Structure 1
Amino acid sequence: MMAKRTAAQRLGRVLEAVTRQSGRLSETPEYGSWLLGPVSESQRRRRIRIQVILTVFIVAANLIGIGVASLLVTVAFPVPSVFSDAPAWLTFAVAPAYVAIALALGTYWITRRTVVALRWAIEERKPSRIDELNTFSAPWRIAVFHLVLWGFGAALLTTLYGLANSMFIPRFLFSVGFCGVLVATSCYLFTEFALRPVAAQALEAGPPPRRLAPGVMGRIMTVWLLGSGVPVVGIALTAFFALLLRNLTETQFGVAVLIISAATLVFGFILMWILSWLIATPVRMVRAALKRVEQGDLRGDLVVFDGTELGELQRGFNAMVDGLRERERVRDLFGRYVGRDVAAAAERERPNLGGEERHVAVVFVDIVNSTQVVVKRPPAEVVQLLNRFFAVIVEEVDRHHGLVNKFEGDAVLAVFGAPNRLCCPEDEALAAARALAHRLRSEVPECPAGIGVAAGKVVAGHVGAKQRFEYTVIGGPVNEAVRLCELAKSRPERLLASWQAVGNASDNERRYWTLGETVTLRGHNEPTQLAMPI
C-alpha cells in the first residue's frame, strides 16, 4: 500500500530541509573563499576589500621576488662581488632607491588603476561589454606593468653594473629578469582571485573574450613554463657561464645551483598552489551544489565568477538547475490538477486511453442548497468559502490515502483504491467520510453538505481523446455514492453509506456504523441497504 503523507508531515519535512540546507548554504562561500566576502556585500565595502587584498598580495609577491633576486646576485654568484667590485653608491643607494620607489609607486598605481577601471561595479551600473573587457584585462595589465617595472630595473642595474664590470651583465639579466617573470605571473593569478566578485558581475554581459580567458590548459602550461621551464633554463645558463667564464669554484657553482633550485621550489610551490586552488574551487562548489540538488534542494544558483571552462561548468550547472526547477514547477502544477498519485503514475509509465477493472470505494460530497449559498454572498466571498470547504475535503482524503478525482462545481468526488491499491479501500473511505462530516460541521458550518459512500467494481483509467484526456473512474459505485449523497442531504447526520461498503470493511471500522432502512435509490432497480454512523 502506497500511503501519502499528511500536509502537516510534508510541511514539517520541508521546513526541516530548508533549515538544514540554509545552514549548509551559509557555510559555503559564494566566491570560494571567505576573504572575498558575501554576494550581498555593499559595493563600497567590496571595493575596499579588493584594494586591500590586491595591495597585500602584490607587496608580498614583490618582496619575495626582491629577496630571491638579492640572494642570486649576492650569494649564488659571489664573483665578482656587488659589495667590493662595484661602486658603493650603486649598491647601497641607487639599487635600494629604485626598489623602494618601484615597490611603493607601482603598488599604488596598480591598485588605484584597477579600482578606477572597475568604477562601473562601484557605482552599481549594469556592465557593458567594455566594462567586461576592462575587468578581465585587469590581471593582464597588472602582469604587464610588473614586467615593465622589473624589466626596466633589470636593464638599469645591468647597464650600471656592467659599466663597472662586464661580468655583472649576465648575472643581473638572468637574476632580475627571472624573478620579475615569476612575480608578474604570481600577481596575475592573485589578481584573478581578488577580482572574482567583480568578474561575477561582469559575466552578466556575456562570456569574456577568449584571448583574455586563456582557459585551464593555458593556465597550467603557463605555470609549468614559468615554474619549471624558466628555472631549468636558468640552471642551464648558470652551468654554461660557469664553464665558459670559469669564474666560479666548484663550491660556488654548487651553492648557486642550490639557491636557484630553492627559488624554483618556492616560486613553483606558490604558483602551483594558486593555480590548483583557482581550478579546484569552482569544481568543489559545483560538487557541493550537486550534492544539494541530489538531496532535493533546488534553491539558488551558483555564482559564476570564472571566465574559463570552469565558468562554463558553473553556467551549465545553473542551466541544469533552472530546468529542474521548471520541471518541478510543472510537476507540482500537474499534481495539483490531476492528483499527486495520478501524476506520479503518469511519470512512471506513459498513460494510454483505456482503463482496468478495480475494486474501489467512492465518497461523494455536495453542498446542501448551494444556490442559496451563492446568491446570498458576493462572488469573492463565495470563492473564499468554497476554498475553505474544499481544503477540508482534500486534507482528509489525502490523510486517508485517497484521490480527489474531480471537483464538480460545489461537489467533490473522491476515490479510494485507484490509482494506488489499498488493502481495504472501504476502511479508508468510511473513516474519511466520518471525519469529513465532523470537520465540515465544526469548521465550515456555512456549507452544510451531504456525504455518500459506496464501494464495488469500477473501470479506472484515462478517458477522452489522444489530445486531451483525464483520469477517472466509471461504474455503479460512483452513481450509487451520488444518490446516497442526495439522500443524505435530508438526513440530520448528513452521511449515508451502502451496507455493502460497511460490510466489506474491517471490524474496527464497522463498529462505528449501524444498519438503516432499505430504499431504492433514484435510477436504481435494486433496493439498497443503508448504513449510518453511530
Structure 2
Amino acid sequence: MPATEPKLSPSGPAPWGSRLLGSEAESSGVRRLRIQLLLTVPLLTANATGMFVSIALIGFVLPGPTIFTGDLLLVNALTAPLYSAVAIVVGAWWGTAAGLRALRWATDQDRVPTEAERAEAIAVPRKLTMIQTVLWLGGFAVLITVYGLADPKLIPKIAFGISFSAIVVCASSYLVIEFALRPVTARVLEAEQSRRRRGIGVFARLLLVWFVGSAVPVAGTMVLAILALTTDEVSTARLAICVLALGGATLVFGLLLMTQTLSATIAPIRGVRTALRRVENGDLDSEVTVFDGTELGELQSGFNRMVTGLREREQIRDLFGKHVGQDVADAALAAEPVLGGVETEAAALFIDIIGSTRMAATRPATEIVEMLNHFFGIVVEEVERHGGLVNKFEGDAALCLFGTPAPLPDGPGSALACARAIAARLAETSDFTAAIGISSGRVVAGNVGAHQRYEFTVIGDPVNEAARLCELAKQEDGLVLAAADSVAAADPVESRKWRLGEFVTLRGRVTATRLARPR
C-alpha cells in the first residue's frame, strides 16, 4: 500500500501533491519508470496482503470445517499457490500491456494527446482495477469448485474469505492507481478544452471507503451473528474470534482506505491554499497543477482561471495608469467616474523641446522616437519624484500637474523644484534642449469628453499661462520661467531659490505677468 503523501505545495518539487511523484523537471524516461514502480510495487503488495488475509480468515477465523486435513493437502499445497502465482504473473503482464498501450503518448512530454488518447488514459484506473477483479473472480471460481468438491461445507467460508479480500484489494488498488497516474491525468486535463469531470467524484470515493471499510466487515459480522443464533455450529468462542478478527480488519483496512481517500482529497485543497497565500503576498504568477479529475480538479482549474483574470486586470490597471497617470487611475478605480470637474488649487508645468521641427526633418524617425522616449523618461521620473502627474504628452511637449488629482501640501513649490531638477538633468545631455514654464492658481480639474470616451484634464488660466511662459522661455539663457505669483505661493525654502524679474504681457493675455527665474 502507498505511504501517506507528505504535505507539500503543488509547485516546485511536488507539482502533483507528493514528492513520490517526482517533479516536472525530470525526463520522460525517469517519470515512466517512477510511475511503473508506483503501480507495480503497491499493487503486488496489496494482492499479496489480500491473499494472506484470505488464508487467515479461511484457515483460522471463520467457523466451519478446517481446510488443514489430509484430504485437502494437494489442494492446499498445489492448487491455491499455483493459481496465486499464475494470477500475479498474468495480472502483471496484462496490466503492464494495457497500461503501456493506453499511455504510450505520455512518453513524449511535448505531445498533446488526442481525444481518444485522453479517454483511454483516463480509463486506465478502471481497466487495471477490472483486471484485478477478473483475476480475483477467477480464483473465487476455481477455489470454490475445488474445495466444494472435497467438502461442500467449506463453500461459505471460502466464498466469504475471498470476497472480503477481493473487495478491499480492488478498492485500495483503484486509489493507488489514481495516485500513481496523477502526472498523466494532469496532462490530460491540461489538454482538455472543457473542464468536464474525469473519474469518480469525491462523493463516490467516500462512499467506496464506507462500503469497503465499514459495510462489508459489519455485514460479515451480522451474518455470523445470525448463524450463531440459528445454528449450533458457531460456538461462543468462535463467534468472539470472528468478531475480534473482523473488527481488527475493519480498523486496519478502514484506516488505510480512509487515509488514501483523505490524502487524495486534501492534496488539491492544500495546493490551492498554498497558492492562495502566494497570491495574497502579491505573486500573481502562481498557478496550481490540475491533476484531479473530480470536483477538486474543477476547484484547481477555477483557481487558475481566477489568477489569470487577476493578472489581466493588473495588466490593464498598470496600462491604464501608464496612459492617464497612476493617481488618475487610482481615483477612477476607487469611485465611479463622472463627467465634469471641480475647482481646486493646482500648479501647471509646461515643457517643450526646442527645435524639434528641424530635428524631425534632418534625423531618422526611429532616432527621433528614441530621443523623445529618453526626454520623456527624464520628465516623468522627476515629476513623479516631486509628487506630480504628467497629464498629457503633446508631440514633443508635456503638461504636468501638481496638486490634482492627488493633493499636495505645496503644489507650487513642488512644480518649481521639479522644473529646476529637469533643467539640471537636461543640461547634462547634448541631444536636445527644452524650455519650461510654471504657473499656479485656481483650475477646474475633472473628466472632459463624452460618456463613451473621456479623459482627465485641467482647464484654467494657470495652464494657459504656463504654456505662454514655456514659449517665452525658449528665448532665455536658462530656459526656465515661472510666474512670480507661483514663487510667492511656494514654501519659503523653495521660493528663495528664485529671483523675481520684470513684468511681461504674454501672448493672448490682457494682464501683465511678473517673471521669475531660478537663481
TM-score range, shorter chain: over 0.9
Residue 325 of structure 1 is matched in structure 2 by 311
Structure 2 runs not aligned, ≥5 long: 1-7
**How far 1:356 sits from its partner (Å)?**
0.7
Report how far residue 307 of structure 1 moved: 1.6
* CA deviation string 1:362-409 (max 9, x = no partner): 111101111122122100111011000001111111111111000011
Alignment of 1:278-357 (within 5 A): 278-357=264-343
1:75 to 54, 60, 73: 60
Structure 2 CA distance for partners of 1:85 and 1:122, relative to 1, 3 Å: same
AA of the residue aligned to 2:304: N
For 1:452 and 1:208, how far apart are their aligned partners in 2? Answer: 60
Paired residues of 2:275 and 2:286 also in contact (CA < 8 A): no
Residue of 186, 192, 208 corresponding to 1:205: 192
Q: Is the 8 A contact 2:63 2:157 kept in 1?
A: no
Q: CA deviation at 1:489?
A: 1.7
Corresponding residue for residue 8 of structure 1: none
Structure 1 counterpart SS, 2:123: helix
**Secondary structure of 2:112's aligned partner:** coil
Letter matched to residue 454 of structure 2: F
- Looking at structure 1, the residues matched to 363 and 71 of structure 2 have their Cα atoms a distance apart, in angstroms, of 105
1:532 aligns with 2:517: yes
2:195 and 2:298 in contact (8 A); partners too:
no
8 Å Cα contact 1:404-1:413 kept in structure 2: yes
SS in 1 for 2:499: strand
Alpha-carbon displacement from aligned partner over 1:81-115 (angstroms, at most 9, x marks no partner): 22236422221222222223322331343134212
CA distance 1:322–1:64, change in 2 (3 Å) = same
Q: Percent same amino acid among aligned pairs?
A: 46
In 2, are the aligned partners of 1:68 and 1:263 still within 8 Å (CA)? Answer: no
- In 1, distance between residues paired with 2:53 and 2:9? 43
- Judge conservation of contact 1:279–1:310 (CA < 8 Å) in 2: yes
1:44 shift after superposition: 2.3
CA distance in 1, matches of 2:195, 2:455: 49
Encode CA deviations 1:409-459: one digit per residue, 9 max, x unaligned.
Answer: 1001000111111111112111111111111121x4211001111111111
Pairs within 5 Å for 1:250-269:
250-269=236-255
Q: 2:15 aligns with which of 21, 27, 30?
A: 30
* Secondary structure of 2:250 counterpart: helix
Distance 1:245 1:168, change over 3 A: farther
Partner Cα separation in structure 2 for residue 208 and residue 350 of structure 1? 36
1:455 partner amino acid: S
Deviation at residue 244 of structure 1 after TM alignment: 4.7
Give the CA deviation at 1:242: 4.2
Evaluate the alpha carbon distance shift between residue 209 and residue 406 of structure 1 in structure 2; reply closer, same or farther with a 3 A threshold: closer
Instruction: Tell me the SS of whatever aligns to 1:72.
Output: helix
Q: Counterparts of 1:94 and 1:78 in 2: how far apart (Å)?
A: 22
CA gap of 1:208–1:144, structure 2 versus 1, over 3 A, is farther
Q: Kindly indicate whether the alpha-carbon contact (under 8 Å) linking 2:214 and 2:254 is maintained by their aligned counterparts in 1.
A: yes
1:474 paired to 2:459: yes
Contact 1:365 1:450 in 2 (8 A): yes
Report if aligned partners of 1:213, 1:307 keep a CA contact under 8 Å in 2: yes
Distance in structure 1 (CA, Å) of the matches to 2:26 and 2:12: 16
Residue type of the alignment partner of 2:478: E
1:190: how far off? 0.9
- Please tell me whether residue 366 in structure 1 is matched to residue 352 in structure 2: yes
Superposed CA offset, 1:247-288 (max 9, x none): 343222211221111111111111111111111111222222
Counterpart-to-counterpart distance in 2, 1:219 and 1:479: 74
Residues 207, 237 of structure 1: alpha-carbon distance in 2 compared, 3 angstrom cutoff: farther
Which residue in 1 is equivalent to 2:203? Answer: 217
With structure 1 as the length reference, what TM-score do the two structures score?
0.91
Alignment of 1:247 with 2:233, yes or no, is yes
* Cα offset, 1:28, TM superposition: 6.7
Q: Number of residues paired by the alignment?
A: 510
Q: Which amino acid aligns with 1:322?
A: T
Give the Cα–Cα distance (whole angstroms) in 2 for the partners of residues 424 and 64 of structure 1. Answer: 82
Cα distance 1:47–1:262, how it changes in 2: closer, same or farther (>3 A)? same
Q: Distance in 2 between matches of 1:241 and 1:86?
A: 26
Residue 245 of structure 1 deviates from its aligned partner by 5.0
Aligned partner of 2:162 among 151, 166, 176:
176
Which moves more between the two structures, 449-458 or 217-226?
Answer: 217-226
Normalised to the residue count of structure 2, the TM-score between the two structures is 0.93
Structure 1 residues 149 and 185, CA, compared in 2 at 3 Å: closer, same or farther?
same
Distance 1:270 1:408 in 2: 72
Contact kept? 2:9, 2:274, Cα under 8 Å: no
Task: Kindly indicate whether residue 447 of structure 2 is the aligned counterpart of residue 440 of structure 1.
Answer: no
Q: Distance in 2 between matches of 1:88 and 1:283?
A: 53
For 2:230 and 2:169, the matched residues in 1 are separated by: 29
Q: How does 1:352-431 map to 2 (within 5 A)?
A: 352-431=338-417
Q: Please, which moves more after superposition, 307-316 or 241-250? A: 241-250
Indicate the larger mover: 241-250 or 274-283: 241-250
Question: Which amino acid in the other structure matches residue 90 of structure 2?
Answer: L
Q: Contact 2:437–2:469 at 8 Å: present in 1 too?
A: yes
Q: Deviations over 1:471-523 (max 9, x none)?
A: 11011111111111122222222112112111111122223222223322222
Q: Is the 8 A contact 1:75 1:256 kept in 2?
A: no
SS of the residue corresponding to residue 167 of structure 1 reads helix
Matched residue type, 2:181: L
Q: Which amino acid aligns with 1:495?
A: V
What SS does structure 2 have at the residue aligned with 1:305?
coil
Contact preservation (8 Å) 1:136, 1:208:
no
CA contact 1:155–1:173 (8 Å) conserved in 2:
no
Query: Per the alignment, in what secondary structure is the counterpart of residue 213 of structure 1?
Result: coil
Inter-CA distance 86–375: structure 2 relative to 1 (3 Å threshold) = farther
Determine the structure 1 residue equivalent to 2:81: 96
Aligned pair partner of 1:513 in 498, 505, 511:
498
* Per-residue CA distance 1:329-360 (angstroms, 9 max, x = gap): 22222111111111111111121111111100
Using the alignment, how far apart are the partners of 1:208 and 1:364 within structure 2? 55
Equivalent residue of 2:393, what SS? strand
Is 1:151 aligned with 2:120?
no
Q: How far apart are the structure 1 equivalents of 2:259 and 2:451?
A: 61
Q: Is the 8 A contact 1:132 1:208 kept in 2?
A: no
Match of 2:218 among 232, 236, 239: 232
